[in-house]
Chain A
Amino acid sequence: MPDQEPYEPERAIAGTGMGGTMDLGASEAITLEQPPGPDGADPRDKPRSLWSDAWHDLRRNPVFIISALVILFLIVISLWPSLIASGSPLKCDLAKAQEGSQAGHPFGFNGQGCDVYTRTVYGARTSVAVGILATLGVAVLGSVLGGLAGFFGGGGDAILSRITDVFFAIPVVLGGLVLLSVITSNTIWPVIGFIVLLGWPQISRIARGSVITAKQNDYVQAARALGASNSRLLLRHIAPNAVAPVIVVATIALGTYISLEATLSFLGVGLKPPSVSWGIDISSAAPYVRNAPHALLWPSGALAITVLAFIMLGDAVRDALDPKLR
């Protein structure tokens, strides 16, 4: 994947920067006239903000509901894995190595005789934690840098654009191998740090573009003419209108980060045993695949469903936030 972020989201959500003000629940928010929807929406409809419109769509989208439920389930079992798995993921019995499904052990045992079901349940924590924390880091760093560059322009913007070009030129898995191969710490933090380091340029590019679009709007000019300070312009007028594309790209990226963590662990540089991660389990099951394919299939399936759920959620959010598709 990894460097497989090129979802072309910039293209897909190019229209999201426009639109009226959103009130974000604040009663004192200025309401400007909404431009008429491209589809010539029913004039009797009360004009809704982009967000309430999106929420209205999402609630009725089965794809969103299913993926949100799957994600909710994953979050619950990563917080409290013992709810559905009683044993310890590190309790292994070599005598039972590679044995298939049996009572109390529905997924069988892996090459080291560990219970595949317990390990698969506990593996969710790593993936969900890495995905969510890395996405938060990338989104914050990327949108702050990209947003400031887009707003102020000038030399800083030019330098930032060249820096993002540099990061795009480095293959992600390769960068991960080089940078993480020296790290001995066996926690999720180095992996998260690495993803933030290589992931922010993607978000910063999107944020920069959408801030540039938003700052040309009339209401920003009006606020500037009224004497609003830069920080007020950015926080109150531009940020709420420019954040939608960032949210969309970040949600889709979350799935790819989970897949990246598993890939790095598979290559032996992400997390290492005795940590529990689907990537590690898939990697250690690969040599025994002839005799014990189940030890490979269960964690693979769990990983695929998790990534799928986040990507589908991102897809649904994009459809809801993109007025062009309506």
Chain B
Amino acid sequence: MGRYVVRRLLQMIPVFIGATLLIFLMVNVMGDPIAGLCGDRECDPATAAQLRHEFGLDQPVWQQYATYMGNVFTGDFGTAFNGQPVTELMGTAFPVTIRLTIVAILFEIVVGIILGVVTGLRRGRPVDTGVLLLTLVVISVPTFVTGLLLQLLLGVKWGWIDPAVSSEAAFGELIVPGLVLASVSLAYVTRLTRTSIAENRRSDYVRTAIAKGLPRHRVITRHLLRNSLIPVVTFIGTDIGALMGGAIVTERIFNIHGVGYQLYQGILRQNTQTVVGFVTVLVLVFLVANLVVDLLYAVLDPRIRYA
């Protein structure tokens, strides 16, 4: 187990470097960040040169990357061009997005798995067909359309929620945005659980459990569910990173000032430090979540051993 973790951690290093380098290069082609700094006017060449030197932009790209990563590992994510440390921006943005992601993951776990179990046990019945069609529709409607429609119906027409989320972004306000963020994954979780339950239902161990007279709910929760949830856990785990990175659209629609909002602003204003910093953290979250999921495998399925 220990050796497996070490090997996985070592494998993460090239992926981390590759992904951050890719984003670093992409951001660098985004254009001259100094030009954005002087507003609409052309920058004074002397000032521009001085600023360039100050931010280290006069060095070759690989050197900029090395310096940046060196700083990141000492906890210094650089300074946004307005003088605010990027870590400060992260401190306000990440809690909001983490709350939003928690709400979304809860929807996936509770609603997705329940729907999946119900339909998997009643394969071919009207409930199954109905839910299956519904998941297809949810997968097909892009997130931003789902978001705008729910905002229009619940926020504007019926007035159940505030169309925009306040700056505190408490859990209560994030229920509808969380549902929107989760919607597509929710449909996948439902379908995945359904397939998995329907497959395992015919397996020998379930027949044995029924034959030895266990009550139905015990067969379902202790035998069937535990074995069927393995692919679902994998999906939800890898989805954490995708949800946090994909929150840009949801946060924009509901005016939530989280990671997606900061990234959007950073990209519009060509604020390279903000963009690279946030993406670095998102990539780390994604990699760690994947590692945790792989380790969880062993907990859920004792047949899997890591050498």
A residues near B (Cβ < 8 Å) are 1-4, 6-8, 11-12, 162-163, 165-167, 169-175, 177-179, 181-182, 255, 259, 262-263, 266-267, 282, 286, 289-290, 293, 296, 300, 303-305, 307-308, 311-312, 315
Count of residues in B whose CB is under 8 Å from the partner chain: 54
* Binding stretch for chain A, among B39-47, B51-59, B70-78, B143-151: B143-151
| CB-defined contacts of B286 to chain A, threshold 8 Å | 169, 171
Q: B residues within 8 A CB of A170?
A: 19, 22-23, 245, 279, 283
Q: Are A171 and B140 in contact (CB under 8 A)?
A: no
Please state if B15 and A300 are interface contacts (CB–CB under 8 Å): no
Say yes or no: is B94 at the interface (Cβ < 8 Å to chain A): no
B178-227 contacts to A, CB under 8 A, are 184-185, 188, 192, 195
B241 at interface (Cβ–Cβ under 8 A)? yes
Partner of A171, one of B136, B241, B275: B241
Selected from A12, A178, A293, A307, the residue in CB contact (under 8 A) with B26 is: A178
Binary per-residue interface labels of chain B (1-40) against chain A in the complex, 1 for a CB within 8 Å, 0 otherwise: 0000000000000111011001100110111000000000
Q: Which residue of B lies closest to A177 (CB)?
A: B267
- A1 and B15 contact, Cβ closer than 8 Å, known pairs A169-B287, A304-B141, A311-B139: no
Contact check, A262 vs B245: say whether CB atoms are below 8 A apart.
Answer: no
* Those 3 A-B pairs whose CB atoms lie nearest each other, nearest first: A171-B245, A166-B18, A308-B140
Q: Which residues of B contact A (CB under 8 A)?
A: 14-16, 18-19, 22-23, 26-27, 29-31, 136-137, 139-145, 148-149, 151-152, 156, 184-185, 188, 192, 195, 231, 235, 238-239, 241-242, 244-246, 248-249, 252-253, 263-264, 267-268, 275, 279, 282-283, 286-287
A181:B263 contact, CB within 8 angstroms: no
CA distance A173 to B247 in the complex (A): 9
Report A120 CB to chain B, min CB distance, Å: 14
Q: Are A303 and B142 in contact (CB under 8 A)?
A: yes
Contacts of B235 in A (CB 8 A): 6, 8
Q: How far is the CA of A40 from the CA of B77 in the complex (A)?
A: 62
Of B18, B145, B184, B268, which is within 8 A of A163 by CB? B18
Residues of B within 8 A of A300 (CB): 141, 145, 148-149
Given contacts A162-B18, A267-B249, contact A1 B143 (CB under 8 A): yes
State which of B27, B149, B242 has its C-beta within 8 Å of the C-beta of A178: B27
Give A268 Cβ to nearest chain B Cβ, in Å.
9
Complexed CA–CA distance, A177 and B80 (Å)? 19
Separation in Å of the B11 CB from the closest CB of chain A?
Answer: 8
Which residues of B sit under 8 angstroms from A175, Cβ to Cβ? 23, 26
Write the chain A residue with the least CB distance to B259: A174
Q: Which residue of B lies closest to A308 (CB)?
A: B140
Chain A residues, CB < 8 A from B283:
169-170
Q: How far is the CA of A137 from the CA of B28 in the complex (A)?
A: 26
Docked CA distance A165–B11 (Å): 10
Q: Which residues of A contact B245 (CB under 8 A)?
A: 3, 170-171, 173-174
- With CB as the reference atom, state the residue of chain B lying closest to A2: B246
Neighbouring A residues of B249 by C-beta, 8 Å: 173, 263, 266-267
Residue in B140, B152, B246, B264 whose Cβ sees the most chain A Cβ within 10 Å: B140
Q: Is the CB of B275 within 8 A of A178?
A: yes
B68 CB → nearest A CB, Å: 16
**B142 with A1: CB separation less than 8 A:** yes
Q: A165-B18, A174-B248 are in contact. List 15 more A-B contacts (CB 8 A).
A: A6-B239, A172-B246, A175-B23, A175-B26, A178-B26, A181-B30, A182-B30, A263-B142, A267-B248, A300-B145, A300-B149, A304-B141, A304-B145, A307-B142, A311-B136
